[in-house]
Amino acid sequence: MGFPGVWMTESESVVYRVVPKCACSTIGQIMYYSDHGRFYDGDIHDSSEGLHKWAQDHSQPLIEANVTAHKSYAFTCVRNPYARILSSFFDKICGIQRNGGRYRGNMVPMLMQKYGIEVGGDDGKQPFDQIRSFRRFLLFARDTIQWRRPMDPDIHWSAMSGHVSTFVVNGGRYDKIFWTEKFGEGMQQVLDAIDTPHAVDLSAIPRFNESEGHGPKRAHPVEDYFDDLSMHLVYEMYKRDFDLFKYDVADPANKMPIAEIDLDEVHAKLGG
């Protein structure tokens, strides 16, 4: 099993478990910069040098040795489940991807046919009923998570706790889990706890939002997309995420956490 989704600086100053749709592009670029004094030219997800990643064969023994011995500070970052699934919809379902095509090829046409989802035309720019389409997408996401039909859940909408847990189950331990909603504060605490070859001034770091501009702009506040049924579906899919990472399941308008994350609780509940 190993440590899927784990990135580590070449200097081994820090280890990070990627959680999709949770500021991972910005975090990856900060890690890259902290080693090299420059940003990676392109989407950090495409890098094959300058950053150790579990997906790169040569990185695996180094990551495994580091994580199992807990040699470096290890962290991850999470996000409000309501905002995260909404972001996945606009980016992955409605958006045109970097390669100029639809995400996962024939998935979107299948969703339009089977679930009656609209995505704003061929370029994602035409007006459509975003709320109705999103709620239909939620049914599809629930089907993938609950029954793995019509496909396995995608990493961009599978539960954060599932991503976070692979690190724990295989012998890793987190020193910090922080919220995207308090990114500056959380990332600064990570930087304060580690020694990096190059100093990082967070206030000068741009936000690398690689999904920005892929799809249509969100036309309504987050809470407008969720009625009672949608909230029920979201809770069904992400109960552990709300519980462990302390988000407000009762109010989609409140993106902020409502309590502190208890790392001991996370390790106990995800380590089984």
Using one digit for the tens of pLDDT, what is the confidence trace for 28-50? 999 999 999 999 999 999 999 99
The count of domains in the chain is 1
Burial 220-250 (b: 16+ CB within 10 A, else e): eebeebbeeebbebbeebbebbbebbbbbbe
Q: Quick check: is 223 in a domain?
A: no
Identify the bridge partners of residue 52 per DSSP, sorted by sequence position.
8
pTM of the predicted model as reported, rounded to 2 decimal places: 0.96
Q: Quick check: is 139 in a domain?
A: no
Q: Quick check: is 120 in a domain?
A: no
Range(s) of the domain holding residue 11: 1-95+155-216+237-272
Percent of the chain predicted with pLDDT > 70: 98
Q: Quick check: is 103 in a domain?
A: no
Terminal alpha carbon distance of the chain: 15
DSSP H stretches of helix in 69-182 = 81-88, 107-115, 130-147, 160-169
Q: Quick check: is 133 in a domain?
A: no
Residue 211 pLDDT: 65
Residue 81 pLDDT: 98
Q: Quick check: is 46 in a domain?
A: yes
Q: What is the distance between the alpha carbons of residues 191 and 177, in angstroms, rounded to a whole number?
A: 13
71 alpha-carbon distance from chain centroid:
25
Residue 37 pLDDT: 97
Render pLDDT for 140-180 as a digit per residue (tens, 0 to 9). Answer: 999 999 999 999 999 999 999 999 999 999 999 999 999 99
Residue 207 pLDDT: 85
Q: Quick check: is 229 in a domain?
A: no
Render pLDDT for 49-103 as a digit per residue (tens, 0 to 9). Answer: 999 999 999 999 999 999 999 999 999 999 999 999 999 999 999 998 888 899 9
Q: Quick check: is 228 in a domain?
A: no
Residue 125: pLDDT above 70? Answer: yes
Task: Please state, rounded to an integer, the average pLDDT across all residues of the chain.
Answer: 95
Residue 2: pLDDT above 90? Answer: yes
Residue 212 pLDDT: 64
Angle ∠(73,74,80) on CA atoms, nearest 5: 135
